[in-house]
Amino acid sequence: MQKLLTLLQVNDSMFPIGSFTHSYGLESYVNAGIVHDNLSAAEYARTMLEHNIYYNDAAFLYRTLSLPTGKKRWDKLAELDVLVTALKASYEIRDASKKLAIRFLKLVNELKIYPVCRKYAEAIQQGELHGHYAIAFGLYVKAAGISTEEALSAFYYNSLNGIITNCAKTVPISQTAGQKILFGLQPVIARLVNKQKDMDEQQLGLCCIGQEIKCMQHEKLHTRIYIS
C-alpha cells in the first residue's frame, strides 16, 4: 500500500514541481488553429502519446528503470543524461526537463533520501550533468520499489492528464470533454506500456517533427501563457 501511495503522491498533477506551466508546444498548435475543438484535442493527445512520449520521455524512463546495479550504474546513468540532452532539440523542452528534474529531486529528497537521487541532484547543481525529469522520476520510483509497469502506467497517465488540462485551458474544451478523452485513451496507455520494452533501440528519441517545430515556434509567440 505504501508503494502505491508514494507513486500517487509523486506522480500527482498537483505535485508542486511546476509542470502545469508547460504546454510542450500545445500553445503553438492552438495559436495556429490546428487544435481547436474536442475532436482535434483528442487527436492531438493520442498523437502525443503514440508518436512522442512513447519514443521519448517514456522510453527514457524505461531505460532509467532498467539501469544496471553496481559500479556501472552511475556511468550508464551519466551516458543516458547526455543522450537525452542531445535528443531534446528544442531549447524550451530541454530547459523544462531540467527545471522539473531539479524541483522534483529537491522535493522528494525532503520526503525520503535515496543516495542515487541525491547524487543526481548534486551532479545537476554542479553542472556535471544536465538533468532530466524522466530520469529523476525513474530513479526515485525505482529506489522506492515501484514496479516498471506501474511506474510507466502512472507516467503515461500523468503526461496525458497534463495535456488534457492544458487543452481545457487553451483550446478550450470542457472538463467533461477532457475526462472523456482521458478515459477513452486508457487502452492506448495500456498498449504502449505493454510494448515499451520491445521498442527498437534505434528509435530512441524518434523526432515528432510537428511538435518539435511548434515547440521552437513557441519561443517567438507574441503572447504566451506557458513557459514551453
Q: Does residue 20 have a pLDDT over 80?
A: no
Query: Which has the minimum average pLDDT: 46-50, 112-116, 136-140, 218-222?
Result: 218-222
- What are the pLDDT digits (tens) for 162-188? 999 999 999 999 999 999 999 999 999
pLDDT of residue 211: 82
pLDDT of residue 90: 84
Per the model's pLDDT, the better-predicted residue between 207 and 149 turns out to be 149
- What are the pLDDT digits (tens) for 86-133? 999 888 889 999 999 999 999 999 999 999 999 999 999 999 999 999
pLDDT of residue 19: 80
Residues 6+ apart with CB under 8 A from 216: 89, 90, 91, 92
pLDDT of residue 217: 81
pLDDT of residue 222: 67
pLDDT of residue 199: 96
Q: Does residue 160 have a pLDDT over 80?
A: yes
CA gap 151, 147 in Å, rounded: 6
Per the model's pLDDT, the better-predicted residue between 136 and 201 turns out to be 136
Q: Is the dihedral of CA 94, 90, 189, 40 positive or negative?
A: positive
CA gap 148, 167 in Å, rounded: 29
Total length of the chain:
228
- Percentage with pLDDT > 90 across the chain: 77
Burial of 202 (0-12, 13-18, 19+ CB in 10 A): exposed
Q: Averaged over 60-88, what is the pLDDT?
A: 95
CA gap 71, 110 in Å, rounded: 26
CA gap 52, 101 in Å, rounded: 19
Residue ranges and CATH numbers for the domains of the chain are 21-218 (1.10.4190.10)
Three-state DSSP class for 23? coil
Q: Does residue 214 have a pLDDT over 90?
A: no
Neighbour tally for 183: CB within 10 Å: 9
Q: Phi/psi of residue 9, each to 5°?
A: -70, -50
Q: Which of 177, 199, 219, 200 is closest to 93 using CA atoms?
A: 219
- Percentage with pLDDT > 70 across the chain: 98
- Give the mean pLDDT of the chain: 93
Residue with cell 544496471: 68
Per the model's pLDDT, the better-predicted residue between 141 and 19 turns out to be 141
Confidence of residue 228 (pLDDT cuts 50, 70, 90): low
Confidence of residue 55 (pLDDT cuts 50, 70, 90): very high
pLDDT of residue 148: 98
